[in-house]
Amino acid sequence: MIDKLAHRWPVRSRREFFEKAGSGLASMALASLLAEDPARAAMNVKDSLAARPGHHTATAKNIIWLFMEGGPSHIDLFDPKPKLAELDGKPMPASFGKVITAMGTASNTIMNSPRKWKQHGQSGAWVSDWYPHIANHVDDIAVLRSCWANGLNHVGSVCQMNTGDILAGRPSIGAWVTYGLGSANRNLPTFVTLADDREPLGGAKNWSAGFLPAVYQGTQFRQGDTPILHLASPKGVTTARQRGKLDFLRELNEMWSADKAEDSELDARTQSYELAYKMQAEAPEAVDLSRETEATKAMYGLNDPEQRAFGSNCLMARRLVERGVRFVELYCGSGSGWDAHSNIEANHSKWCRVSDKPIAGLLTDLKQRGMLKDTLVVWGGEFGRTPFNEKGNGRDHNPWGFTMWFAGGGVKGGQAIGTTDEIGLRTVERPAHVHDIHASILHLMGLDHLRLTYQHNGRAERPTIVDGTLIPQLWS
């Protein structure tokens, strides 16, 4: 057989024949994989941020994630529990099972919610008096009351809500979206994070690219008049001179990286130089909130000192998605501001005042501009809080049952999905793990979490690791 093929496919030995045959089979397998997943194909072209189609038709083009860091109390905001009033001041009934919390074994007493509750909108959704402005938007909101996660403490739990794992090192969901879909505006970052007055717990690992190529990591914008540092060229440096410097750097980097294809950080650095150059033209206008009307700024709470920081970030998020940024994550209470182990009344009163009007303003603004239908808005923290007290007037961490909500981007509003038990401790109906939430967010963006894979250490890694079930009630 080898002799018959020799005139068409010259080989010198049996070993060489099988080497060439094996290479052909490997190429066929690679071609099949690339045809299956457009994101994989993108990794084999030089432009790793080129826009590409998803796996199916998307209902959302952009995501704005409102991250309430520290753990907002679901049973004081969106999940009313009359049983708490009945059991107030009594030990937690044994029927609810043993609980080991972040602060130790739970032995404190049930604490009723002091909030006043009302039904709102045509849907009659329940919202407490801590969120009166958001309550006006319940018909656009799907409240998911049955979330659960694995972490007991903030750093691991914030990490899991961003990356799917309580241990650092995996890509964030924003990085997966960027890897899967590429950029929609080459003059701005595809994935942006915005904090308020402090760094989020865990810092950059929450918007890291993990084992994905470094070009997919998030870009942090800062508070104040210069969200992007060093955006302007030094005085006296012309556009042509800046372009020439970058071209020379690119040539040097390409020479250095010619035999280092596995080093994604150098490619990311080169592309970041290019992005910075392009941003000099578009970014100053994108982040300039003074271009907004006074009425718009007031709608976001920018005229209130307590709301200004988070309100500015909400307004910035709208301006960024309006210009093609796919994923914007906003932290409210960076550094665990919502962490009410004591005096939950003062703690949550503060952070609800900080976030209520700006979030309502964002929803109103997106809807008025016709953008809400394409923009998925996500609200939630890393976990909820317990129905029993800690230190007499606070609540401990609760990853076993908590609430998140979703609006826009194809979400069916005006509904509550899933339930927790009578005291809001554990999810009992339609449990939704963090992996389920990530799978569903990716689905709305047109990405199949089972097919969005990246080869790492011999394994086809995916955003939801080895788990994840869609929550179709969100959109059907």
Q: What is the pLDDT along the chain (476 residues), one digit of tens a residue?
A: 444 444 444 555 655 545 554 444 444 444 443 444 544 444 444 578 999 999 999 999 999 999 999 999 999 999 999 999 999 999 989 999 989 888 876 667 999 999 999 999 999 999 999 999 999 999 999 999 999 999 999 999 999 999 999 999 999 999 999 999 999 988 899 999 999 888 999 999 999 999 999 899 999 998 766 666 555 556 665 667 766 666 676 677 777 666 666 666 666 666 665 555 555 656 778 889 999 999 999 999 999 999 999 999 999 999 999 999 999 999 999 999 999 999 999 999 999 999 999 999 999 999 999 999 999 999 999 999 999 998 889 999 999 999 999 999 999 999 999 999 999 999 999 999 999 999 999 999 999 999 999 999 999 999 999 999 999 999 98
Please, where are the H alpha helices in 230-376? Answer: 239-257, 264-286, 294-299, 308-322, 344-368
The pLDDT score that the predictor gives to residue 25 is 43
Buried b (16+ CB within 10 A) or exposed e, 289-311: beebeeebbebbbbeeeebbbbb
Say if residue 235 is in the same domain as residue 217.
no
Of the CA atoms within 13 Å of residue 273, those in its CB half-sphere come to: 16
The pLDDT score that the predictor gives to residue 333 is 96
Say if residue 347 is in the same domain as residue 437.
yes
Quick check: is 247 in a domain?
yes
Integer Cα distance of 41 and 50 in angstroms = 11
Q: What is the DSSP string of 249-277?
A: HHHHHHHHHTT-TT-HHHHHHHHHHHHHH
Place of tokens 């007991």: 152
Say if residue 62 is in the same domain as residue 161.
yes
CA dihedral 31, 255, 251, 276 (to 10 degrees): 70
The pLDDT score that the predictor gives to residue 237 is 59
Integer Cα distance of 126 and 120 in angstroms = 6
| CB-based contacts of 427, cutoff 8 Å, min separation 6 | 145, 146, 147, 148, 400, 401, 418, 419, 420, 421
Of 462, 465, 411, nearest to 440 (Cα)? 411
The pLDDT score that the predictor gives to residue 223 is 73
Contact 252, 270 (CB under 8 A): no
CATH label of the domain that carries residue 467: 3.40.720.10
Contact 157, 151 (CB under 8 A): yes
Quick check: is 173 in a domain?
yes
Say if residue 221 is in the same domain as residue 248.
no
Say if residue 164 is in the same domain as residue 295.
yes
Length of the chain: 476
For 244, the domain range is 229-282
The pLDDT score that the predictor gives to residue 27 is 43
| CB-based contacts of 401, cutoff 8 Å, min separation 6 | 74, 145, 146, 147, 148, 384, 420, 421, 424, 425, 426, 427, 428
Say if residue 450 is in the same domain as residue 358.
yes
Quick check: is 22 in a domain?
no
Say if residue 301 is in the same domain as residue 270.
no
404: left (phi over 0), alpha (psi -120 to 50) or beta: beta
Distance of CA 225 to CAs 118, 179, 313, 430, Å?
A: 40, 30, 12, 45
The pLDDT score that the predictor gives to residue 300 is 98
The pLDDT score that the predictor gives to residue 23 is 46
Quick check: is 80 in a domain?
yes
Quick check: is 9 in a domain?
no
Of 190, 219, 209, nearest to 62 (Cα)? 190
Per the structure, how many domains does the chain have? 2
Say if residue 306 is in the same domain as residue 450.
yes
Domain boundary among 282, 309, 325: 282
The pLDDT score that the predictor gives to residue 11 is 52
Quick check: is 12 in a domain?
no
Quick check: is 218 in a domain?
yes
Say if residue 71 is in the same domain as residue 210.
yes
433 in helix, strand or coil?
strand
Say if residue 122 is in the same domain as residue 217.
yes
Say if residue 256 is in the same domain as residue 397.
no
Domain boundary among 248, 282, 316: 282
Quick check: is 265 in a domain?
yes
Say if residue 240 is in the same domain as residue 317.
no
Residue 198 burial (10 A CB sphere; 0-12, 13-18, 19+): middle
Integer Cα distance of 98 and 104 in angstroms = 11
Domain boundary among 245, 262, 282: 282
Position 37, amino acid? D
Contact 113, 184 (CB under 8 A): no
